[in-house]
Amino acid sequence: MITLPALCLAMASFLSPGCNEESPTVMKDPPAVPSDSIPMIPGWTLVWNDEFSGTSVDTNKWEFEVNGDGGGNNELQYYTDRPHNSFVDTGTLVIVAREEKYLNKNYTSARMRSKYRGDWLYGRFEIRAKLPWGRGTWPAIWMLPTDWEYGGWPNSGEIDIMEHVGYDPNVIHGSTHSKKYYFKIGTQKSGTVKIPNVSFTFHTYAIEWYADRIDFFVDGSKYFTSSNDGTGWEAWPFNRRFHFILNIAIGGDWGGAKGIDNDVLPQSMVIDYVRVYQKTP
């Protein structure tokens, strides 16, 4: 018997291979790392992780955000907590964005956060994932402040570990936002790197967050650093605890800037693991 998660995954995957605008070479995914053999990183200690080795989302680690608010960016999806939009399957977390009528929206997806379940100040944050593709998709792996001590967005900060917009395939963005430096006034601190086959093979997205800087990596290679300029919280609110957010948006100010190709949907973001390390004393 085919289970619902397996059927959802098959449907999401069926539409993906071989359709990238750049016609990438499809490569075999490297094997997932077993949860009992997580590699050590010299100088770092693993303090929190999810290898998605169970049969369902671990709600001790993740909370679903359920709403159709548009994410503050005029996005078009309704985020649900249904297995139709997110599930654990064969050691991975799968988030699926779909075209469907749901509560006055034409698209559904999922957005999950670790708020009050996993919150940290400084460390190495590492996520291995395979991304959706196609115009209108906007997957993100990012962090928001847990306590908002400096006020509402963007005052208390935002850390974007990975963003990808489907109309610009294989280009990965890493950014930080604060009151002084954020995208709506054109001053955000951002870096980009082009990586082959982000939608057809797994890649590892990471940051190393220190008091004076945040370094951004893909597959172990650093491509960008956001530095503390020493001018106070308006420039650097990154001295308070943050939590993870994982989601696929559809459309929106950035993701939908060149329209939405409904023919590519459903699309999935497949996450092999999420790991947090802190400096070994």
Active site residue 163: yes
Given the residues 63, 158, 208, 234, select the one marked as catalytic. 158
- Tokens, residue 56: 């369902």
- Tell me the CA distances in angstroms from 136 to 34, 56, 97, 101, 183, one per residue in order: 34, 28, 11, 17, 19
Closest CA to 95 of 104, 107, 86, 103: 86
CA 35 to chain centre: 21
Given the residues 75, 126, 163, 208, select the one marked as catalytic. 163
- Tokens, residue 176: 């930080």
State how far the Cα of 172 lies from the Cα of 181, in Å rounded to an integer: 19
Active site residue 158: yes
State how far the Cα of 252 lies from the Cα of 135, in Å rounded to an integer: 11
- Tell me the CA distances in angstroms from 156 to 176, 179, 206, 224, 230, one per residue in order: 11, 8, 21, 21, 16
Backbone angles phi, psi at 71, to 5 degrees: 60, 15
CA 280 to chain centre: 26
- Tokens, residue 274: 């999420």
* Sign of the dihedral through C-alpha 176, 116, 206, 200: negative
State how far the Cα of 223 lies from the Cα of 191, in Å rounded to an integer: 7
Active-site amino acid positions: 158, 163
